[in-house]
Amino acid sequence: MVKVSPSVLTADFLTLSDSIKKLEDAGVDMLHLDVMDGIFVPNISFGNPIIKSIKAHTNLPLDVHLMIDRPHRYIEEFAKYADLLGFHYEAGSDNAELLKKIRELGCKSCITIKPATAAEEIFPLLPLCDMVLVMSVEPGFGGQKFMPESLPKVTALKEEIARRGLNVEIEIDGGINKETAPLAAEAGATVLVAGSYVFNGDDMCERVKYIKSL
């Protein structure tokens, strides 16, 4: 059974606590929080004050996806409220050092790759990761179209993780919906991020349950 990590990026932030209650009732596994700095990606979202407020409202694990330049500058700050803390391979930090640091700070570690980055580039880092995140859209915005080229990358990671007997979740993020969720699960993704699909439907609960049933 796959896990669901709804991205709150497309939610109404003034009614976020109601939405989080509904997501808890629907049985989501964690909440995906997209932090964007307007430099690493061409969009600005929210920072740690919002994450701190969310942490005070829910017991769900917080899956923080940093889309920021040189993330080592802020890792201690985000580790205060994150349960799973991920950053981009391409963002200009010492990736191995940063993964180790995240674990030392008591969070689960995750490295994320953009669509143009080959899965093989992060193979050497797998022992330092609790999760890897494969982007299935260019990071920066919700509501984009799923890139099927991401699927072979998920499968390559799944095979490498199995071959080395590692325990690493594989998350996929971007364009997940009724049609693409089964493809992602079949390719080997174990955690599916879904933003607009979950938040723009009439019944969040039904959509979460559908993904979890895959």
Our answer to whether residue 173 is catalytic in this structure is: yes
Binding at 176: pick from Zn ion, ligand DX5, none (beta carbon under 5-8 Å per type): ligand DX5
Report d(CA 2, CA 103) in Å as an integer: 24
Strands 31-36 and 3-6 come out as unpaired
Q: Which of 29, 37, 130, 173 is catalytic?
A: 173
Q: Which of 18, 29, 34, 202 is catalytic?
A: 34
Our answer to whether residue 202 is catalytic in this structure is: no
Residue 35 · residue 47 · CB < 8 Å = yes
Binding at 195: pick from Zn ion, ligand DX5, none (beta carbon under 5-8 Å per type): ligand DX5
| Cα 78 to Cα 34, 61, 132, 189, distances in angstroms | 12, 14, 18, 25
Binding ligand DX5 (rule: CB under 6 A), the pick from 196, 204, 207, 208 is 196
Strands 84-88 and 191-194 come out as unpaired
Angle at which helices 16-26 and 204-212 cross, to 10°: 40
* Interface with ligand DX5, residue 173, by CB under 6 A: yes
- Total residues contacting ligand DX5 (rule CB under 6 A)? 22
Sign of the torsion angle spanned by Cα atoms 47, 104, 167, 24: negative
Q: How far is the CB of 164 from ligand DX5 (least distance, A)?
A: 27
Residues making contact with ligand DX5 (CB under 6 A): 7, 9-10, 32, 34, 65, 137, 139-144, 173-176, 193-197
* Positions marked catalytic: 34, 173
